[in-house]
Chains A and B, each alone.
Chain A
Amino acid sequence: MKGLVFSEFLELVEQMYGYEMVDKIIENAHLPSSGSYTSVGTYSHLEMFELLTNLSKEVSISVDDLLRLYGNWFFDVLMNGHKRHLNNLTNSFDLLYAIEDHIHVEVKKLYPEAELPSFETTIINPTHLKMIYSSERKMWALAWGLMEGCFKHYKEKAAITYHFLVSDGSKVQFDIHLLA
């Protein structure tokens, strides 16, 4: 998992709970990287889950909720970092639709080692988008948070519902209805 996900996560934790909380969840975990993350590096996703689990214990918020929260925040980070590439996408559906076939393709070019989830996106009608998330990382909640970040960014409103296609969360269907 890209170092950026870790560094931005710890950044969010520090903003919300102070560096003491960052220090605490690192110190309570057994991390091969010792909690030192650079955004250009690559680390095991298990470290992320350990940090999330530790934080969840400290702040009494579920791991999935933490990921959803982080997705909201992380979308803007990604957006700001790659504005010039995403200029031509003018609304949320365009962007969501472009993830699988354009954005992830470009990410793979930049970071061949990156392990990315896959999305099967279907436009049901102009206001209804169906997205099926598949990943062994089971970080569907992060995807959810990112979608919410996206709507926020384009100042659009949408109702997002989901249900598990596989019970462990490795395959989840999202139905996104754009609200007027």
Chain B
Amino acid sequence: MDSTDDPIVAMWQRRWQRERNARKQAEVILEEKALELFEASKLLKKNNENLEQIVDARTKAFEKSQRRLEAFIRNLQYGIMLENENRKLVLTNMAFCDIFSIPLTPEDLIGIDCVAALEDVKYLFTEADEFVERVGDLLAKRELVLGDELSTIDGRILERNYVPIFFDDNYIGHCWQYRDVTQIKLAQEQIKLSEEKYRGVIENMELGILEVDNDGNTVRAHKRFCEMVGYTEAEVLGKHAASLFIAPVSKTVFDQQVEIRNKGGASTYEVQMLRKDGSLMWAVISGAPIFNTKKEIVGSMGIHLDISERKKLESELKQAKIIAENAQRAEKDFLANMSHEIRTPLNAIIGMAHLLYDTRPNKQQIEYLDILKNASSILHRLISDILDIAKIEAGRVEIQNKPFDLIGLVRTLQKTFQMRAKEKNLEIECMVDARIENWVEGDELLLNQILLNLLGNSLKFTEKGHIGISLRLLKRENKQITIEFKVYDSGIGISPEKLPLIFQKFKQLDNNKQQKYRGTGLGLAIVKELIELQNGTIKAESDLNNGTTITFQLNYTDCGKPEINHLPAPTHISEIQTAQSLRQLKVLVVEDNEMNQQYIKGLFQKWNIAFNIAENGSEALKKAQEQNFDLLLMDLEMPIMDGYNAAIAIRNTENINTNTPIVALTASALLDQKHKALEAGMNGFLTKPFSPQQLKELLIKHLPVIADNIQEEYNSPTFEFSEQLDTNSLNIFYDTDIEHACEMFETFLESVLPEFTDLYTYAETKNYEKLYKIAHKLKPTVAMVGLTWIEPMLFTIEQACRDKKTDSEQTIKQNIQNINQEINTFQPILQKEYKRLKKFCKKYKP
């Protein structure tokens, strides 16, 4: 039916068509929607599956986490009880059951009512009601509370935390955490006790502790420190400690400590500190850095000890020490000075005694002189000993190592003592190991002193038998040798109980038997000191009544004979003579008497003979070792070393003058002196006073070649001195040397005479020191112009100045007056004599 003419039908057809179209559209949409729905469903299903997987995984993870949490809680040291908001127990652990002694497992407890349970457990606590009340309080407030401490009736201490649990601001329960802290508490208590103990100890030890930070600001000041400085802790906290407490004088010391501290070092030092009241205090501070747990320095701690008292004492002690030392030094100085002071006049005595030998004494006078000489030399030795020990104690003895003739030294001593021992009829034995060379390097003087002392002792204590000295080579290493010295005797010996005392100072073995042996008791002590000073050892063996042996060892260096820059010693007589004729002759004059020196000097100058002068034997020995002489004129009596000893030494030691003739100048013509001189190795003697002619003859006898030189002087004219003067002494002095006499008279008149007025001046002002000196000075001059008798007057003045006796002043006055008188009388005579001398010289000696 394509179309119709009926409009109604057509409309209905259109309507039907529209409805059908609409239905078809709807069907299409429906189909699309169904498809969409299917796809959506499929997607949904897939999503669902994914979702399920995710949920599954999350559930598993959650379970795992829960298990972990449960295990964690179960094993926690804390007793845990988790309650929900309805106070039903959700979770607990074994620790909880243990703490409260619940005989159930944690699982059994899940779900129980905690309100009821509280009533059961409250009796476990010492304060049950307070416990319940506190729980109620915590639950009401729902605020985190940590560290509640609870005591149980069985003596434990529990620590409890209350932790309310919220979820999205909603309260969903809470957790109780209990912990048994009994042990910790006990430990803490003990630590506290221990801390208190040490704090107590430190407080009681009076040690003030101060802690500062790295800027030096006070962090902590302990009680005792505060007491020390007078501040309260609050006053010093945060303040710079050094500025507050360190006195300005100690700033430098303190700053050095800060340096040390910054490097991490500890140190102890003394400083002066300032108290609050401004007073000063001495403190010793032991400071150490403080480290934190990272080993960084965060400050330092100082332990202070108040040492003001000690410092005071120290300074007093120092003062006392200074005083004591001063006193000791004064004492030593006094001793040294006194010894020296004693020695000076003693030397005068010895010197004078020796000079007296030259004054033609008779036999008895010589005996007296011998006693005087011996007594004074004993006194001299005593003083020397005291000085020596003082020198040793002061460490002023210097060892002077030089080559010396060791064997010569020993032989000289042997000879010297042989002579001294003669009167006792003793032999001095001497044995020297053949392996020992003559020349060694060491201290000759010290060895000489040691042996002199030991041999002197032996001689002193031995009356019969023998004395001996022996040398043995103990050891040789290259040039180093060790020599054992033995000095032995057959003397009185020492008892075994006294033996250990002999090397002690001032220990004389003073039993009655030994009264006759006198000394300082220092001899052996000095010997021991001198040996030890040279690193040697000494020992003594003795048999009472049978003798003593002293053995000591010393080290020396072996050395050849040193080169001496002089002509070698001639070996044959003919050679000597030839040599002498070819060169300038030289004589050594050994004489202590100044007048004699002048006398000989004058003659030798006149005869054109070269000479040297030695003041004593020791000087002579030294000179003899240095250069060759053709003749030695040797006075016998001299201080320091006499002529006998000098001759022995020259003859027995290796030197260039071993064979040089020595002529003794003796003051007496006594035969035993001459024998002694020959024994000592001298070749002849000349008795003083001697005339120029006598000296000439002697020279010619010993040195024939000299004769021509001096022969011509024989016929020179003579000068007659005025009879008013002491012609005898003038002739001895000047002999034919009138020129010399002229010079001496001139000097006396011009320079010496005016000085006599000084005598008067010093006597008036009572300046006896000066007076002594001037008298002493003038004394030898008067004899030179023939006023010999004034000499004793001057001597008396000298003596009076020293004596200072009540009548001294009178004596001095009287003598000065006498001297003045003499001088006044003789001045014109001297002037006249001087003019005559001048005239004579002009005439004969142009």
Contact = CB atoms under 8 A, between A and B. Distances in A.
Interface in A159-173: none
B327 interface: no
B26 A40 contact: yes
B35 to A, nearest CB: 14
Contacts of B402: none
Interface string A1-17: 00100010000000000
Given A19-B15, A23-B11, A34 B30 contact: no
Nearest to B33: A40
A22 B18 CA distance: 11
Nearest to B19: A36
A93 to B, nearest CB: 34
Interface in A27-85: 27, 34-41
Contacts of B19: 36
A34 B15 contact: no
Contacts of B332: none
A23 B15 CA distance: 7
Interface string B1-40: 0000000000100110111111101100110010000000
Contact of A34 (B11, B21, B23, B33): B21
B31 to A, nearest CB: 11
Contacts of B25: 3, 36-38, 41
Given A34-B21, A36-B19, A36-B21, A23 B26 contact: no
A20 interface: yes
A138 B43 CA distance: 40
A41 B15 contact: no
A27 B22 CA distance: 16
A34 B22 CA distance: 10
B17 to A, nearest CB: 8
B29 A34 contact: no
Nearest to B12: A19
B388 to A, nearest CB: 132
A27 B11 CA distance: 10
A52 to B, nearest CB: 18
Contacts of B21: 34, 36
B29 A36 contact: no
B11 A19 contact: yes
A125 B33 CA distance: 45
Nearest to B8: A20
A26 B22 CA distance: 14
A135 B21 CA distance: 31
Interface in A87-142: none
Nearest to A41: B25
A1 B637 CA distance: 169
Given A19-B11, A20-B11, A23-B11, A41 B29 contact: yes
A23 B29 contact: no
Nearest to B14: A23
A41 B11 contact: no
Most buried by A among B18, B20, B22, B29: B22
Nearest to A27: B14
Given A20-B11, A23-B11, A34 B26 contact: no
Contact of B23 (A3, A27, A38): A38
A40 B14 CA distance: 21
Nearest to B29: A40
Contact of B18 (A3, A34, A39, A40): A34
Contacts of A39: 26
Contacts of A35: 18
B352 to A, nearest CB: 153
Contacts of A7: 22
Given A20-B11, A41-B25, A36 B30 contact: no
B18 to A, nearest CB: 4
Interface in B18-72: 18-23, 25-26, 29-30, 33
A159 to B, nearest CB: 40
Contacts of B20: 36
Interface in B167-220: none
Contacts of A20: 11
Contacts of B18: 26, 34-36
Contacts of B11: 19-20, 23
A27 B25 CA distance: 20
A41 B21 CA distance: 12
Most buried by B among A19, A27, A40: A40
Contacts of A22: 15
Contacts of A19: 11, 15
Contacts of B26: 38-41
B14 A38 contact: no
A34 to B, nearest CB: 7
A20 B9 CA distance: 11
Nearest to A37: B22
Nearest to A35: B18
Interface in B382-399: none
B277 to A, nearest CB: 86
A34 B33 CA distance: 23
Contacts of A36: 17-22, 25
B677 to A, nearest CB: 160
Nearest to B18: A36
Nearest to A26: B18
Nearest to A22: B15
B15 A38 contact: no
Contacts of B33: 40
A18 B26 CA distance: 24
A19 B30 CA distance: 27
A34 B14 CA distance: 10
A109 to B, nearest CB: 13
A115 B29 CA distance: 19
A91 to B, nearest CB: 35
B788 to A, nearest CB: 165
Interface in B484-504: none
A41 B22 CA distance: 9
B30 A40 contact: yes
B544 to A, nearest CB: 144
Contacts of B17: 36
A47 to B, nearest CB: 13
A38 B24 CA distance: 9
A26 B30 CA distance: 25
B328 to A, nearest CB: 120
Interface string B699-728: 000000000000000000000000000000
A159 B683 CA distance: 182
Nearest to B30: A40
Interface string B622-659: 00000000000000000000000000000000000000
Contacts of B30: 40
A13 B20 CA distance: 20
A143 to B, nearest CB: 27
A49 to B, nearest CB: 19
A40 B33 CA distance: 10
Nearest to A40: B29
A136 B22 CA distance: 28
B812 to A, nearest CB: 153
Contacts of A26: 14, 18
Contacts of B22: 7, 36-38, 41
Query: What are the 10 A-B residue pairs with the smallest beta carbon separation, nearest first?
Result: A36-B21, A38-B26, A38-B22, A36-B22, A36-B18, A38-B25, A23-B11, A40-B29, A41-B25, A35-B18
Given A35-B18, A37-B25, A38-B23, 9 more contacts: A19-B11, A20-B11, A22-B15, A34-B21, A36-B18, A36-B21, A36-B22, A37-B22, A38-B26
27 contacts: A7-B22, A19-B15, A22-B15, A23-B11, A23-B14, A23-B15, A26-B18, A27-B14, A34-B18, A34-B21, A35-B18, A36-B19, A36-B21, A36-B22, A36-B25, A37-B22, A38-B22, A38-B23, A38-B25, A38-B26, A38-B29, A39-B26, A40-B26, A40-B33, A41-B22, A41-B25, A41-B29
Interface of A: 3, 7, 19-20, 22-23, 26-27, 34-41
Interface of B: 11, 14-15, 17-23, 25-26, 29-30, 33
